[in-house]
Amino acid sequence: KDGVGAKMDSMELERERGITIQSAATFTEWEVENKRHNINIIDTPGHVDFQIEVERALRVLDGAVLLMCAVAGVQSQTLTVDRQMRRYQIPRVLFVNKLDRAGADPWRALEMAKKKLGLTIHPIQIPMGLEHLHEGICDVVR
């Protein structure tokens, strides 16, 4: 941990621990074929103690990114958030992070997502190296 935390984590405790406690919102623009799209982003907590924050955010979303750790794979909170997304019929993209950590295995994590979450998986990016050899990702769509 670099001690900085995510840019949207405004509370001191969030920055110290590298976790999100309180939902935060921001936006970005995405231009495709000369057409601008506004994307609103809500960063929600991942810890079970803050599940109500996730529940509130899911009520207003059109889609979501479900983060999953390349080391731990599907965790109990992953199951909980996936159930919430299904309840609100939120389409999702699965993003595997922490590819630079010791023990990272995104293929095992994706296999866990298939089995435990019942998701159909189609990787669109492939990591270039893992753990301390991680250099980036390769976009297989382009």
Determine what percent of the chain falls in helix, strand and coil, rounding each to the nearest 5: 30, 25, 40
- pLDDT for 15 equals 67
Other CB atoms within 10 A of residue 87 CB = 10
Name which of 52, 48, 53 is nearest 22 in CA terms.
53
Question: What pTM did the predictor assign?
Answer: 0.74
Do the beta carbons of residue 140 and residue 126 sit within 8 Å?
yes
pLDDT tens across the length of the chain (142 residues) = 344 445 666 667 766 766 676 777 778 898 999 999 988 887 777 666 667 777 777 788 888 888 899 999 998 888 888 988 899 898 989 999 999 999 999 999 999 999 999 999 999 999 999 999 999 999 988 7
Cα gap 28→106, rounded to integer Å? 27
Kindly state the helix (H) or strand (E) to which residue 57 belongs, with its residue range: helix 51-58
